[in-house]
Amino acid sequence: MGIEFSFSADQEAFRSAVRAFADREIAPIVGAMDEREEFPAHTVAKMQKEGYFGVPIPEEFGGLGLGKVGYAILLEEIGRVDASHAAILGAHTSLGLTPLLSYGTAEQRKRWLTPAARGEKLLAFSLTEPGSGSDSGALRTAAERSGEGWTLTGNKIYVTNGKEADHVVVLASNDPALGPKGGVTAFLLDRGMPGFSIGRCEKKMGLHGTSTAELLLDHVAAGPERVLGTPGRGFHVAMTALDVGRVSLAAGSLGAMQSSLEASVAFAKQRTQFGHAIAEYEAIQFKLADMAMKVHALRFMVYHAAQEQDRMGSDPAAWSTSDREAKTRAAATVKCLASEWASDVIDEALQIHGGIGYIRGTPIERAYRDARISEIFEGTNEIQRLVVARDLIERGR
């Protein structure tokens, strides 16, 4: 395990540019976006123009070529200001672009990866079904052979970006008896294909800028050119995407923790009670210190995991079994800790703010509602612990 922690001048410049963008373009609109529960189409279009929807993708495929470390920088800085924008980027990039980059043919990359990495098209990812969440290999959306291609029928739920996406990576069952071991295939479907429709969009506790949509597939005809990777090996496609997603989710959580910490320090210094700034009280100082320790530890974990993913590259055929297992365990570890620490840190930030922290529309109140989902989506934290425990027991360390 190589350890090297420093950012290049280019990475620092990218961080500064994203931070300035987030403060200038996103911060002013998030309150209204949250209140209206509206997809932030205007700022998403601006982020697309900046190239933010293709950050880790090589330049030859339309991306910025900044790798997973650059992508973590993006998510940290966007997550510092708003979790909805971070989730929209994550669903598109980690879960939509990764399958195309890692498993797409030259033709698929040209047709779908490059326009999406350039920000001309928005992507989503659809694994979850009403009967299969954590047990995702038990999905029932059917992919039946039909001539050269396939016919897809079934109901998917909880698709982030589902309402707005131009294309969706859809996981379907080609053989229920085989389940995740040979019975799941990944497809790339277009919005508007005959038989493809969007059902209900969920009302949620947080992440009000994102759509969480149902997808209804009624005998959708998908040609062989729409299969990502080998038929039957779709579970690998999904897990490769989720390994990237879990690290980027952690980067977004890191940003939310950082901004909550900074807001808490500033608030504690200016809020006076009993004749003193509350920052002078040890009870508050200890909370701030504990928050800062978690931020510090998580920063190393996030960038180390991203650096390891960059070292491994994006071609699954080049990964050794032990590299692949280490990557999956690292992603589960960082996702689980990041989401729980974010909930803890933001909870403490709310406590430091007192009553104002509970008032609707304050950044802390929004961050508190937004953070909770990270313990659930991209695999619940119980599932992350199972992933870590299985690897631990197998290796003995």
Ligand X SMILES: Cc1cc2nc3c(=O)[nH]c(=O)nc-3n(C[C@H](O)[C@H](O)[C@H](O)COP(=O)(O)OP(=O)(O)OC[C@H]3O[C@@H](n4cnc5c(N)ncnc54)[C@H](O)[C@@H]3O)c2cc1C
User: Does residue 125 touch ligand X according to CB under 6 A?
Assistant: yes
Stretch that binds ligand X, among 52-60, 124-132, 251-259, 304-312 (CB under 6 A): 124-132
Interacting residue with ligand X among 43, 108, 114, 160 (CB under 6 A)? 160
User: Does residue 159 touch ligand X according to CB under 6 A?
Assistant: yes
Report d(CA 90, CA 289) in Å as an integer.
30
Stretch that binds ligand X, among 64-72, 152-160, 240-248, 296-304 (CB under 6 A): 152-160
Report d(CA 46, CA 96) in Å as an integer.
19
Which residue is listed with tokens 């609707």? 360
Q: Are 111 and 89 in contact (CB under 8 A)?
A: no
How many residues bind ligand X, per CB under 6 A?
A: 21
Q: Do the strands 184-190 and 196-201 form a parallel or antiparallel pair, or are they unpaired?
A: unpaired
Q: Do the strands 227-228 and 212-222 form a parallel or antiparallel pair, or are they unpaired?
A: unpaired
Measured at the CA of 244, the angle between CA 241 and CA 246, to 5 degrees, comes to 105
378 is catalytic: yes
User: Does residue 144 touch ligand X according to CB under 6 A?
Assistant: no
User: Does residue 379 touch ligand X according to CB under 6 A?
Assistant: yes
Interacting residue with ligand X among 127, 189, 241, 254 (CB under 6 A)? 127
Binding mask 91-120 for ligand X (x = CB under 6 A): x-----------------------------
Interacting residue with ligand X among 65, 380, 388, 391 (CB under 6 A)? 380
From the candidates 35, 262, 378, 382, which is the catalytic residue?
378
Interacting residue with ligand X among 8, 16, 105, 134 (CB under 6 A)? 134
* Site residues (vs ligand X, CB under 6 A): 91, 125-128, 133-134, 158-160, 204, 207, 212, 373, 376-380, 382-383
Residues designated as active site: 378
